[in-house]
């Protein structure tokens, strides 16, 4: 199965089960309308398909996901918990997606998190837009040539 075909199901399962958050596909990018992207996480994978996956979140969504993950009010979260949550989202989604798509992987890198940078976010890759908690969520997958 193509990664793009498996992605919506993987996103819904991962965010539903681990972050208690309902996610739906969005017709268009959601980085406007006063809800700018603020933070992103990225992870690499190697195997019979290799590449990188990037998840981009608004600040409010990143905070809400972290709060749901650990079961606390977003107001009491610290920055480390938010960073851990978006890195964990990349890690779990990447592994789940590769498994659902039947990709044999030999290595998944340690995820990283950083502030969103519009200039790098538009780098080459297939972009998929979702919505969660009324906030935008973007997934970018860039496959490397075999």
User: Which residues sit at the interface with another protein, rule CB under 8 A?
Assistant: 13-14, 16-18, 47, 66, 69-71, 80-81, 84-85, 87-88, 91-92, 94-96, 98-99, 103-106, 108, 110
The C-alpha atoms of residue 144 and residue 146 are separated, in whole angstroms, by 6
Looking at the Cβ atoms of 30 and 90, the one nearer to another protein is 90
Strands (E), the chain: 23-25, 37-47, 51-58, 105-108, 112-115, 126-132, 135-143
Supply the minimum distance, in Å, between the C-beta of residue 95 and another protein: 4
Q: Which is nearer to another protein, 27 or 110 (CB)?
A: 110
Q: How far apart are CA 89 and CA 18, in angstroms?
A: 9
Residue 97 CB, nearest distance to another protein (Å)? 9
Q: Which is nearer to another protein, 21 or 58 (CB)?
A: 21
Which two tokens mark 97? 């997606």
């Amino acid at each position: 199965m193509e990664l793009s075909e498996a992605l919506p199901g993987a996103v819904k399962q991962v965010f539903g089960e681990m972050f208690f958050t309902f996610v739906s596909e969005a017709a268009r990018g959601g980085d406007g309308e006063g809800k700018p992207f603020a933070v992103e996480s990225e992870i690499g994978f190697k195997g019979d398909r290799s590449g990188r996956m990037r998840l981009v979140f608004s600040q409010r969504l990143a905070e809400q996901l972290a709060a749901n993950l650990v079961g606390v009010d977003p107001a009491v979260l610290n920055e480390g918990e938010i960073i851990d949550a978006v890195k964990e989202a990349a890690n779990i989604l990447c592994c789940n997606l590769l498994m659902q798509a039947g990709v044999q992987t030999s290595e998944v890198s340690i995820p990283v998190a950083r502030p969103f940078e519009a200039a790098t976010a538009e780098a080459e890759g297939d972009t998929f837009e979702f919505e969660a908690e009324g906030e935008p969520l973007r997934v970018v997958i860039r496959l490397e040539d075999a």
